Amino acid sequence: LAGGIILGVALWLRHDSQTTNILYLQLGDKQAPNTFYVGIYILIAVGAVMMFVGFLGCYGAIQESQCLLGTFFTCLVILFACEVAAGIWGFVNKDQIAKDVKQFYDQALQQALMGEPDANNAKAVVKTFHETLDCCGSDIVTATFTPVWRDDLCRKDSLKSFFENTNCHKKIDELFSGKLYLIGIAAVVVAVIMIFEMILSMVLCCGIRNSSVY
């Protein structure tokens, strides 16, 4: 059940419309940074394997097989190590992921505003950011004045946009910090469950061994 929940959460994060809209963008030859998906793929793999390992542990307990329970314990240790690795990766990269996406957005915005050769592609990228995150501009000045004189990039209702548009850098930070926070919670929950399961499998192995002796 825990493996299924983790797998479900990871798949939801992987196919979330906001992140997929942004991270599938391409600016000329440059693909949007998708380092964010590394942690999600680890969770997907851990969730799927955890479901299989759970069945293995249940079957081993029913059959009172020390071999199966020992295999179950070994798999849990490996999965636990993967969870720790995912947690460390998330902690190390939590700021870098948002930074890379903001740099990608800034590059597209600059090309769109300056009318560079690939401006049409840049405009499409920028508009996707603005529509997905409901924001406009990369800093206070740009966010305030871009809607007024570039309504092809931001929302058409200029007066409302002038007062309400939110800095896209802030929105990007909020988006990825929230998602990484959820990944961190999932990793911690799985780690706690795994520790409990490892203890339980050791107790069962000892019980089976003692019963076979007597």
pLDDT above 90 coverage of the chain, percent: 0
In the chain, the amino acid numbered 15 is H
Q: Tell me the C-alpha distance between 16 and 12, whole Å.
A: 6
Give the DSSP H/E element, type plus range, for residue 31.
Answer: strand 30-31
pLDDT at 182: 74
Question: Between 187 and 133, whose confidence is greater?
Answer: 133
Tokens of 188: 């911690």
- Comparing 44-48, 113-117, 139-143, 153-157, the range with the smallest average pLDDT is 139-143
Could you tell me if 163 and 154 are in contact, meaning their C-beta atoms sit under 8 angstroms apart? no
Supply the DSSP symbol for 1.
-
3-state DSSP assignment of residue 27: strand
Tens-place pLDDT, residues 78-90: 887 877 777 777 7
pLDDT at 135 over 60: yes
Rounded to 10 degrees, the C-alpha dihedral 142/145/146/147 comes to: 140
Could you tell me if 123 and 152 are in contact, meaning their C-beta atoms sit under 8 angstroms apart? yes
Tens-place pLDDT, residues 156-196: 654 454 455 578 888 888 888 777 777 777 777 777 777 87
Mean predicted confidence (pLDDT) in 13-31: 84
Alpha helix locations (H) across 15-167?
17-23, 36-63, 66-114, 119-133, 140-149, 158-164
Residue whose C-alpha is closest to residue 22's, from 122, 105, 84 = 105
Mean predicted confidence (pLDDT) in 141-167: 56
Tell if the pTM clears 0.75, that is, is over it.
no
pLDDT at 158: 46
The CA-CA-CA angle for residues 84, 90, 95, to 5°, reads 155
Q: Tell me the C-alpha distance between 108 and 165, whole Å.
A: 18
Give the DSSP H/E element, type plus range, for residue 123.
Answer: helix 119-133
Q: Tell me the C-alpha distance between 155 and 205, whole Å.
A: 64
Q: Tell me the C-alpha distance between 151 and 139, whole Å.
A: 17
pLDDT at 148 over 50: no
pLDDT at 213: 46
pLDDT at 159: 42
The full set of domains in the chain, from first to last, is 1-212 (1.10.1450.10)
Question: Between 20 and 116, whose confidence is greater?
Answer: 20
